[in-house]
Structure 1
């Protein structure tokens, strides 16, 4: 016969067995790891004529546990426009382009603002955002599309100001510039950029993963993510990008078969598709500090960098003080100390970047930040970024 104490002990034993069967076992060695947190990439390099100094390099290159470096290529957005201007000036020096010639002469089809049919559109107006073109329509043309059709839409034009008289920043200028370059040379835009600028400077860089980048460069890309971690552009992968350009209307991405020189202009994103590392962009900055040598003559350098437009209160859209002066693909600003800088900003796919050169002090810098909220205040990425 079991005593009261024995019954009590037996009850506790049964209760413990039941509890152990119903309670999940905690095993620290097999528990699922917490999801890795991807850190925004924050990069800044300072440079002068002789050296490059990585001032800030922190965060991930768009992949958790993959630290960013100054040698990984990133899509630098509108800084691409400044590099395109370098190639245009090279072609001008070679006699293949004229900054003040009607671009329709190169293209073989007329380019006209419908409100000013007698006013020619020139490369000088396109490069300085005084062409009258506006981003009121989609400036990215499908691979089998024609820029001529896009520009026939009256919404593409500012009908209130004659070409060459009014500044308004517009991405749509860039595909037209690229188409003119192709028509004048008989060469595809990405190959022009490699031949005229990137390869001569020894850079491992390219537009939309086209000519100029080495094999495997695509796998080193700084993946651009939105703040929530969604992919915005350029996941780091092995092999070629399955479709780096805007596909055709049927989804095809066969550039060799569908792309026509001088007819599209946008496939390789002249307005923002340059993939380049911070170190290589600093080398372009060093070239600019040498007044364009060895790419440009001093005369061409001066023509490119001298402001073509300066805001006088009524001759352009200054975007609430954001734009005060602009050259040929070159943005000018004056800092809080009254010092003048030229260069360009880049803002796309949650990246903010600034590339600035102080010619008086013979120094410059490039900085970029990823995973930026698209609604964050827009700035020059000068004192800070964004």
Structure 2
């Protein structure tokens, strides 16, 4: 009987192994002010080829892109190109107004803090060939009951194209060039938006995003250069040759389209652990960024402390669904979620360290009401990372 069972196991084992789903691509990188260390590197970057993920393979980091946008904005504030409290209409050359409040200005600070009264109800992807100005003229794009600045916090992706387009109009540069000049290049990080500007070598290492069903979601070979990588309206050629900066930076997906590896994302995280002495941001802009997280949103279950695209977590004493790390220490940063991916860049400024991570093929939320909060897989991943860090410190 035992021999027959053993023989059956020998026959079934290869089939069982083949039946297993590939390990989702997952990277966790720890960093402090001086060092960057891969902690967890596992899974398949491209299931079609079996290519395993490597520590700095570029991935779409989703809404962490908004934090990079905030840094680019503040760099331009320090250059004197824009002001956080100026009316963005002054940069764009056309009026940005909530239909019910035509006298209320919309500012970069409001947009970055999700207090401009914008909503995603009307959609937030404006393809090449369509008009950002026309999108903002739709009443469904706005909160109807309060003016910008007084409207309640509502996380809205639509604000990001407005910010990015205003930055373009103020500088005459395209948004991807702005981010490269003000953030990536100064910090020695390789990154790009919608694959525009990424090298062939980076594109070859793209992490394909899969849904939990195994379906391809983004960035398979058909979704990267030389194929079209930007949203394009029907009948419009997929070309940036005639694009005029300051008209529709939504084509760069500023709300979530940054592609970057975790080792390079950690370089951006290190900036939050440095002093103002390195001159990346002036003391005034540094204070504006860090102090913004003291904005409290009592009606939020996740974005309880959120300012200029910067969030504070694990400081809510149970009031918020933001307990990602088992130690409960206060961290600042931003989360990402899209196309089956969860990602995060979180810094413990007092301890002088941080974590950059992503994991893929995460199941979607179960209902429309299940909004905000970290996925159990993220929480388990951070517990695993912390255990590895504790082990390394005790060795």
TM value normalised by structure 1? 0.85
- Provide the residue aligned with 2:262 in structure 1: 278
In 2 relative to 1, CA 164–218 (structure 1 residues): closer, same or farther, beyond 3 Å? same
- How far apart are the structure 2 equivalents of 1:310 and 1:190? 29
| Residue deviations 1:279-311 (CA, integer Å, cap 9, x gap) | 000111111110464421232122112226633
Q: Larger deviation: 156-165 or 167-176? A: 156-165
- How far apart are the structure 2 equivalents of 1:380 and 1:291? 30
| Residue deviations 1:355-382 (CA, integer Å, cap 9, x gap) | 1111111111012110111126653466
Which of residues 159, 165, 168 in structure 2 aligns to 1:173?
159
Query: Number of residue pairs matched?
Result: 348
SS in 2 for 1:56: strand
- Provide the residue aligned with 1:131 in structure 2: 116
- Provide the residue aligned with 2:137 in structure 1: 152
- Provide the residue aligned with 2:10 in structure 1: none
Consecutive unaligned residues in structure 1, runs of 5 or more: 1-32
- How far apart are the structure 2 equivalents of 1:232 and 1:312? 33
| Residue deviations 1:223-277 (CA, integer Å, cap 9, x gap) | 00112222111114798241110013315211213x3321112001000000000
1:328 aligns with 2:324: no
Q: Larger deviation: 53-62 or 148-157? A: 53-62
- How far apart are the structure 1 equivalents of 2:224 and 2:115? 40
In 2 relative to 1, CA 171–239 (structure 1 residues): closer, same or farther, beyond 3 Å? closer
1:221 aligns with 2:216: no
- How far apart are the structure 2 equivalents of 1:207 and 1:348? 15
Q: How does 1:227-246 map to 2 (within 5 A)?
A: 227-236=212-221, 240-246=225-231
Deviation at 1:331, TM superposition (A): 1.1
TM value normalised by structure 2? 0.83
- Provide the residue aligned with 1:371 in structure 2: 361
Which of residues 170, 187, 191 in structure 2 aligns to 1:184?
170
SS in 2 for 1:162: coil
1:142 aligns with 2:132: no
- Provide the residue aligned with 2:336 in structure 1: 346
SS in 2 for 1:307: helix
Stretches (4+) displaced over 3 A: 33-37, 236-239, 291-294, 335-338, 380-386
- How far apart are the structure 1 equivalents of 2:64 and 2:210? 19
Does structure 2 retain, via aligned residues, the 8 Å contact 1:308–1:325?
yes
SS in 1 for 2:134: helix
- How far apart are the structure 2 equivalents of 1:309 and 1:41? 35
Deviation at 1:168, TM superposition (A): 0.9
| Residue deviations 1:197-248 (CA, integer Å, cap 9, x gap) | 111212111011113x223311110100112222111114798241110013
Q: CA RMSD in A?
A: 2.3
Consecutive unaligned residues in structure 2, runs of 5 or more: 1-16, 316-322, 383-395
In 2 relative to 1, CA 234–121 (structure 1 residues): closer, same or farther, beyond 3 Å? same
| Residue deviations 1:63-122 (CA, integer Å, cap 9, x gap) | 253111111000000000000111100000000001111100000000001111111000
Q: How does 1:1-386 map to 2 (within 5 A)?
A: 37-63=21-47, 65-165=50-150, 166-211=152-197, 213-236=198-221, 240-257=225-242, 259-291=243-275, 293-307=278-292, 310-311=295-296, 313=298, 317-318=299-300, 321-335=301-315, 339-375=329-365, 378-380=372-374, 383-384=379-380
Q: Larger deviation: 375-384 or 199-208? A: 375-384
Q: Larger deviation: 221-230 or 72-81? A: 221-230
Q: Which has the higher helix share?
A: 2
Does structure 2 retain, via aligned residues, the 8 Å contact 1:219–1:238?
no
| Residue deviations 1:169-199 (CA, integer Å, cap 9, x gap) | 1000000001100000001111111111111
- How far apart are the structure 1 equivalents of 2:114 and 2:381? 24
